[in-house]
Amino acid sequence: MPAHETGGRLGEEFFTPGTSSFARFLAAHRPGLLPTRSPLPPGTAVAPDAVAHGTTVLALAYRDGVLIAGDRRATMGNLIAQRDLEKVHPADDHTAVAFAGTVGLALDMVKLYQVELTHFEKIEGIPMTLDGKASRLAAMIRENLGQAMQGLAVVPLLAGYDPKAPAGARGRIFSFDVAGGLYEKRAFHAEGSGSPYAGGALKKLYRPGLTRREAALAALQALYDAADDDSATGGPDLNRRIFPLVSVITEDGFERLPESETADLTREMVDQRRTRPDGPRATS
């Protein structure tokens, strides 16, 4: 029962041994708090321009770990709903999640996922493995399938540093489909409406052993290509000082690149585009 119905004391369910999953605890005792619980009657579809959607996000492995980045635009149909949306979030010290899809639902799912990982570590006394984190996120997406079929889909991208993986392959990337299908990607991956263009750019620019700076520039070039061909993806806005969000995950943990560093790299990339509008050529 809620605390106000028990004289301010926690309910009995809080003291009963159970699952290490916070999401499953909510499903059993407070299902109304789950973001995956549909507020719509069965069979109701959401108009595509009724809610904000976010794109494009990408990740790529590099020499020291993995980089994850996203553009900043959210759209409602043909309207720009937000220009500075944050689509990349730390899940814990060595894992990050980025999202494309329904913004409000995605942000709630990210918050629940962050609590899920913290709850597991508190209950079990050890951090969840990276494979376990990917499986937990896949389960949360699967529980949202009903809303996805009504037009409220969330498609996250998970990146993490795995100290148990072989040296040189500790930056790992996982993608998902709306039904909770889980797929590990090698080297790089992009999600969202601009992903065909971002993925094509990464295929051209990626090579093993990139430095952090080279990986960041490749990500910025890919997001620029996505914005060039996809109206839902926002390019860098130099006048408003709105730049893509770029973060890295290494042995030292999650780190978001300072805005000053991202701004300098973005300006360098835009200057290069003045002489090569289609971007750099593929490296041999």
Return the number of other C-beta atoms located less than 10 Å from residue 142's C-beta.
17
As a whole number of angstroms, the distance between CA 197 and CA 182 comes to 22
d(Cα 52, Cα 87) in Å, to the nearest integer? Answer: 13
Q: 55, 56, 75, 233: which one is catalytic? A: 55
Angle between helices 212-229 and 195-205 (to 10 degrees): 140
Among left, alpha and beta (phi > 0; psi -120 to 50; other), residue 168 is left
Give the C-alpha separation, 174 to 148, whole Å: 19
What per-residue string of b and e applies to 13-40 under the rule 16 or more CB within 10 Å gives b?
eeeeeeeebbbbbbbeeeeeebbbebee
> Residue 166's CB: how many other CB atoms inside 10 A?
7
Query: Could you give the C-alpha distances from 235 to 230, 245, 276, 279, in angstroms and in order?
Result: 10, 12, 17, 14
36 is catalytic: no
Catalytic residue ranges: 55
